[in-house]
Amino acid sequence: MPAHVDVTPFADDSAPPVRGFLHRPAAPSGNALVLAHGAGSNCEAPLLVAVAGVFVDAGFTVLRCDLPYRQKRAHGPPSRGDAAKDREGLRNAVNALRRIEPKDSSSRIFLGGHSYGGRQATMLAADDPGVVSGLLLLSYPLHPPRQPSQHRTAHFPSLRTPALLVQGTRDPFGSVEAVRIALQLIPARTSLLALDGAGHDLLSGRRTRRGADIVNEIPRRLLGAFCVFFEPETSSAGR
């Protein structure tokens, strides 16, 4: 993390509460991003830290947050009854960030998540299209591993928030081609960034000699695709 970036613990006592880390850029752009983790992780996941780093360097205020189920227990996946509260936790995180960011006509708040966090973000946006300006979905869990017929797309036809999806070609939760087909169910503008050789965590190869390069390269590619997709002048363009 660059020395000039201000990263501090963050807490907001809404119900459910918001807990995590707030990244403040040296030169704010007015844009902001909430990042949520996958089912077996937390807000200190290497992928979230790396993505937050490149976005804050680009002027985004970034909030990495622990979902409500993770605040209740340090380990283990969410239970069946956790999802609705986790979505409310994401809504509260967006609202907390909205209170922090100065309000002007150019400011936008985005919601991103890895795997389970991204899935809950899409479900929240499907229920409330105006909750954020756009979605950043990292390794969308299209189906459980080895169960390709159990698609988690029932809400896709109701999703009217622009979304950028980032999927590895070795992701057992959904092939790039399967994700590409599923995106046709979404009436909003979408884009898919495929990362060759990446697995579900996207940072494949981080223990190899080239690992440090991959950890830096993938977030930069992701940021580049995000900035192109969400440029204001293209927001009304066709899909």
pLDDT of amino acid 102: 64
Mean pLDDT of 27-54: 96
Does residue 210 form part of some domain?
A: yes
SS3 sequence, 10-52?
Answer: EEECCCCCEEEEEEECCCCCCCEEEEECCCCCCCCCHHHHHHH
In tens, the pLDDT along 191-238 reads: 999 999 999 999 865 444 444 555 678 999 999 999 999 986 433 333
> Per the domain annotation, does 239 fall within a domain?
no
Phi, psi of 200 (to 5 degrees): -65, -30
The answer to whether residue 34 sits within a structural domain is: yes
Structural domain that includes position 23: 6-234
| Mean pLDDT value of segment 47-53 | 96
What does the pLDDT average to over 79-101?
A: 94
Tell me if the pTM is above 0.85: yes
Is the pLDDT reported for residue 179 higher than 70? yes
**Stretch among 41-55, 74-88, 101-115 having the lowest mean pLDDT:** 101-115
- Reported confidence tier of residue 137, pLDDT bands at 50, 70, 90: very high
CA distance 47 to 231: 24
The CATH number that applies at residue 227 is: 3.40.50.1820
Section 155-182 average pLDDT: 97
pLDDT (tens digit per residue) in 12-35: 999 999 999 999 999 999 999 999
The pLDDT assigned to 3 comes to: 44
Residue 1: inside a domain, yes or no? no
- Lowest model confidence (mean pLDDT) among 3-7, 43-47, 124-128: 3-7
Percent of the chain at pLDDT exceeding 90: 83
Rounded to whole angstroms, the Cα distance separating 19 from 172 reads 30
pLDDT for the residue 236? 39
Averaged confidence pLDDT in the chain? 90
In a domain, 14, yes or no: yes
Give the strands of the sheet with 61-66, arranged side by side.
Answer: 6-12, 18-24, 61-66, 32-36, 109-114, 134-138, 163-168, 190-195
Q: State how many domains the chain has.
A: 1
